[in-house]
Structure 1
Amino acid sequence: MSDIAHLGHVEVLTDRFDDSLDFFTRVYGLKASLVEDGVAWLRAWDDYEFHTLKLTRSETTGVGHIGYRAASREALARRVAAIEAAGYPTQGWTDGDAGHGRAFRFEDPFGHVFELYYDTRRVEPEADDRPALKNMASRFHAQGACPRRIDHVNLLADDVSEFRRFMDVAFGSRVTEMIRLDNGRIGGCWFTVNNKTYDLACTEEHGRGGGRLHHVTYATDQREDILRAADIFLENGVHIETGPHKHAIQGTFFLYVWEPAGNRVELANAGARLMLAPDHEPIVWTEAERKKGQAWGLKTIESFHTHGTPPVDET
């Protein structure tokens, strides 16, 4: 068993808090567990934790931190010892948050802040939010795009090989797929800490920024949910960047939009492959293969390589 159970939550920063909150709840379809003092703790209807997205009012955009839940208190202690021994920058222990208990914060070599925790706050739905089936976290509400659960986060880094070493040391994660460029560099890696094909991806930074977010993704049950979401986004004036279409890497059906503050958000179908083989070898994609585009030939648009948050001064 891995010391890390799963991706727990992502903190997204916004300089347009009210507009972003309206997008994530009314249009994207997350539920608000708590909103106070410029912070919103949000979750999808079948997320079992109190929150999977923390939306924070800020003077900038991007990612505040990424939280992973450890498999036990003992596992948490083991990972903290490994992180400290490796010499990665640490911020130490915090008292926790509205959605979880004590947490250990640290940084990757590129300025992204991570936290590990074990004690968590589970969803306790009110009477009008209780599901008909007791094995669901809460009632399906059909508001907006209405994704089922958090899926993954994609970060940007100048050196994906170094980020890969960080993920191995800090989380004990394994790589399921990767891109190797003609110049020998790794252009992207997809990581998992469990049997999902990935819960975090890292792709090469082309914008000369630091600690930037590429996107955060929630999962739907089926492709038709994403096609419906495209119409919902269209009707609400949301910027649709690319899709709906199917990825070649990982094979997920996708749709990318920008929320009002400019952070990229994805919907992907939950029917992605499981990684059950304990001796799985990473699938390596070449630069020539990636230039063919996505699974059905859609070319990757230029903004997908350059747009991240916070934005960088191109001068």
Structure 2
Amino acid sequence: MEKEPIFDVAQLAHFEIYSPKLEESVTFFSDILGMEEVHRQGKSVYMRAYEDQYHNTLIITENDEAGLGHMALRARSPQALERRVEAIEKTGYGIGWIDGDIGHGPAYQFTTPDGHKVEIFWEVDYYDAPNSQQTALLNRPQRRPKRGVPVRRLDHINLLAKDTNKNVEFLEAVLGFNVRERILAEDNSDIATWLSVSNLAHDVAIMGDALGETGRLHHICYWYGYPQHLQDVSDLLIEDGYEIEVAPIKHGISQASCMYVYEPGGNRVELFGDAGYLIFDPDWRTVEWKAEDTNQAILWHGGSNLPKDFFEYGTPLRSKEPVEN
């Protein structure tokens, strides 16, 4: 008999990135991606995209090196939160409760098997736009910003892991994530896996760390809605001297139009030009790609090859040689 699905986690709610160039990173997200700065506290700046429902979806915290501070999940109910905390504590990866943070209430913190810090909560603050940001479009939290090419909402996060399968199994068994697509090595281990708890093709992706490190970040992602915006923001990025890693392409996995750029702190940022496909089938069959199809799976069209260090570059930065598989 198949196990009953777990529906206790609703979505990816926000993430925190570290930056050694705090103000330059804030300028990038504000002036180029059109995000709003909504709060400052200590060494952290809280930001949001204009269609994010919650108070903030991005925290940028000043730090000696770039990387992931934490990612946050929202439970579906107070009871769902209690159930997931109980399950997490049984794994030994729990850290403990915090009173809350800007934008949300009490949260339980834990790590993935690879060491990425995660928190899960129920109580959130919805964004209350000031008069200058009010919009007559009542199903939108705020007016569309007039800076840069504004991203619309948080989309997903991609984590690098030393042991891909161990982390994927944790997300499945403990948090209820569903594997939507994967790239398999010859021994059927996961080279990379895309998982979600929502209708998106992925809320979280896990990719093998080619340097054999633990707890690193591959990228965070925000969504536009229209592929043309990728061309528009590319002009701004080039004019202002930002480094575009991958010009606009289309993924095979997820079918999304996208591009990759480095923000000034060193973290990789993906921009989605559309949502690709959505999943409504409750019995979705995982799409499996072979290792030899990796380049096509990630780069369906729009370029010939991925950058050489696409699977090696992550934050914090490391200079070790790739691990031989």
- Check whether TM > 0.5: yes
**What's the CA shift string for 1:247-291, capped at 9, x where partnerless?**
111111011000111100010023321111011110000012224
Cα distance in 2 for partners of 1:32, 1:201 equals: 27
Q: Determine the structure 2 residue equivalent to 1:8.
A: 13
Is 1:312 aligned to 2:325, yes or no?
Answer: no
**What's the CA shift string for 1:124-167, capped at 9, x where partnerless?**
00001011211101110132121100000000001111111110
Q: Please state how far the C-alpha of 1:182 moved relative to its aligned partner.
A: 2.2
**What's the CA shift string for 1:22-55, capped at 9, x where partnerless?**
1111112211111232211111001010110011
Is 1:93 aligned to 2:97, yes or no?
Answer: yes
1:199 to 179, 192, 203: 203
Q: Please state how far the C-alpha of 1:67 moved relative to its aligned partner.
A: 0.2
Cα distance in 1 for partners of 2:46, 2:131 equals: 20
Is 1:23 aligned to 2:50, yes or no?
Answer: no
Q: Please state how far the C-alpha of 1:90 moved relative to its aligned partner.
A: 1.5
Matches within 5 A, 1:95-134: 95-134=99-138
Moved over 3 A (4+): none
Cα distance in 1 for partners of 2:254, 2:26 equals: 30
Letter in 1 for 2:243: H
Cα distance in 1 for partners of 2:235, 2:244 equals: 10
Is 1:47 aligned to 2:52, yes or no?
Answer: yes
Q: Secondary structure at the match of 1:216?
A: strand
Letter in 1 for 2:228: E
Q: Secondary structure at the match of 1:78?
A: helix
> Structure 2 regions of 5+ residues with no counterpart?
1-5
| Worse-matched range after superposition: 23-32 or 108-117 | 23-32
Q: Determine the structure 1 residue equivalent to 2:250.
A: 246
Q: Please state how far the C-alpha of 1:313 moved relative to its aligned partner.
A: 3.7
1:262 to 254, 258, 266: 266
**What's the CA shift string for 1:159-192, capped at 9, x where partnerless?**
1111111101331010000000124321011011
Q: Please state how far the C-alpha of 1:307 moved relative to its aligned partner.
A: 0.5
> Structure 1 regions of 5+ residues with no counterpart?
none
RMSD (Å) for aligned C-alpha atoms: 1.3
Cα distance in 2 for partners of 1:91, 1:13 equals: 20
Letter in 2 for 1:153: I
Is 1:36 aligned to 2:41, yes or no?
Answer: yes
Does the Cα contact within 8 Å between 1:63 and 1:213 map onto a contact in 2? yes
The change in CA–CA distance for 1:132 and 1:304 in structure 2 (over 3 A counts) is: same
Does the Cα contact within 8 Å between 1:27 and 1:236 map onto a contact in 2? no
Q: Please state how far the C-alpha of 1:92 moved relative to its aligned partner.
A: 0.3
Q: Secondary structure at the match of 2:311?
A: helix
Q: Secondary structure at the match of 1:303?
A: coil
How many residues align? The count is 314
TM-score (norm 2): 0.94
Is 1:82 aligned to 2:87, yes or no?
Answer: yes
Q: Secondary structure at the match of 1:105?
A: strand
Is 1:147 aligned to 2:151, yes or no?
Answer: yes
| Identity in percent | 32
Q: Determine the structure 2 residue equivalent to 1:69.
A: 74
Cα distance in 1 for partners of 2:51, 2:146 equals: 12
Letter in 1 for 2:72: G
Does the Cα contact within 8 Å between 1:2 and 1:194 map onto a contact in 2? no
Q: Determine the structure 2 residue equivalent to 1:299.
A: 305
The change in CA–CA distance for 1:81 and 1:251 in structure 2 (over 3 A counts) is: same
Does the Cα contact within 8 Å between 1:189 and 1:202 map onto a contact in 2? yes
Letter in 2 for 1:145: V
Letter in 2 for 1:108: T
Letter in 1 for 2:96: G
Letter in 1 for 2:173: V
Q: Secondary structure at the match of 1:218?
A: strand
TM-score (norm 1): 0.96
Letter in 2 for 1:301: P
Q: Please state how far the C-alpha of 1:207 moved relative to its aligned partner.
A: 1.9
Cα distance in 1 for partners of 2:135, 2:158 equals: 31
Cα distance in 2 for partners of 1:307, 1:313 equals: 9
Q: Determine the structure 2 residue equivalent to 1:174.
A: 178
| Worse-matched range after superposition: 237-246 or 205-214 | 205-214
Q: Determine the structure 1 residue equivalent to 2:282.
A: 278
Cα distance in 2 for partners of 1:137, 1:291 equals: 38
